[in-house]
Amino acid sequence: MMATGLAASRGWWEVGWVGWVGVIGFAATLIGLYFTWAQARDAKDHATNAEVAAQAASSAIELTQRQLRSNQMLILVPQLRWIAQEIDTSIATNERDATRRNFDNWRWQASHVSGVLSDDRPVPRKALGALQESVTLATEATTALLKGEGRILDSCEQARASINAACNLLNAYVGQSANHAIPSEKEVGP
């Protein structure tokens, strides 16, 4: 204030040392402000970069998980299909014990597949529902096979149909998920 007042009334060569201290202080404040602003800008840039990196890492993890799930399903679904064929064979040859064992194998394997599928997003409700339905009917058929003595097919016709329906749905799901497991351009980046 004093320096400004002095400068207004006299030439700059007439300003005393007290006035110069004020002028230099003002300049130093401006420089300090500039450095503070530059640091804040750098910090913001770093934060944005960190956010982008975190997002990329998250996408990469998700993609890897999807690929692992897809690979697992490529192995598990043919196994389910094979068990379904074994069930059909044991029913056709009227082998009670073998049919019961095959239903038990189906339940075991189907629950494994169900566990893998339930981690997928969005949750494949149709496939999970079909698997749960087949597992329920396989359990009921196993109990009926233990009790009954008639024709095997009469005790497990619905279980067999439900297992085949689940296999068909899962085949379609595997095809779809194999496509989704391939990263898009957006996921890979430019």
Partner 1 sequence: MSDDENHARLIEIARTALDRTQAKTIKWKTTDDEDTFFYSGLKTSLVADYFPRLGAYELRVLNSRGTAIASIKLEPDTFDMSSMDGGVDYNILRDLHAAARESALDIDGTLAAALDELLDVPPF
Give the binding site for partner 1 (CB under 8 A): 107-108, 111, 114-115, 118, 123, 125, 128-129, 131-133, 135-141, 144, 154-159
Measured from the CB atom, the residue of 131 and 181 that comes closer to partner 1 is: 131
With beta carbons less than 8 A apart as the criterion, state whether 79 and 108 touch.
no
69, 119 contact by CB (below 8 A): yes
Helices (H) and strands (E) in the chain, counts: 6, 0
Nearer to partner 1, 153 or 188 (CB): 153
Residue 134 or 177 having the CB closest to partner 1: 134
Tokens of 181: 């497991």
Closer residue to partner 1, CB minimum distance, 115 or 190: 115
Instruction: Provide, rounded to whole angstroms, the least separation between the CB of residue 56 and partner 1.
Output: 32
Q: How far is the CB of 94 from partner 1 (least distance, A)?
A: 16
Going 62 to 64 to 69 to 74, the CA torsion angle's sign is positive
Rounded to a whole number of angstroms, the minimum distance from the CB of residue 54 to partner 1 is 31
Nearest to 116 by CA among 81, 73, 84: 73
Distance CA 88, CA 117 (A): 25
Give 11 or 115: the residue with its C-beta nearer to partner 1.
115
Q: In the bound complex, what is the minimum distance in angstroms from residue 125's beta carbon to partner 1?
A: 6
CA distance linking residue 41 with residue 45, whole number of Å: 6
Tell me the closest approach of the beta carbon of residue 85 to partner 1, in angstroms: 20
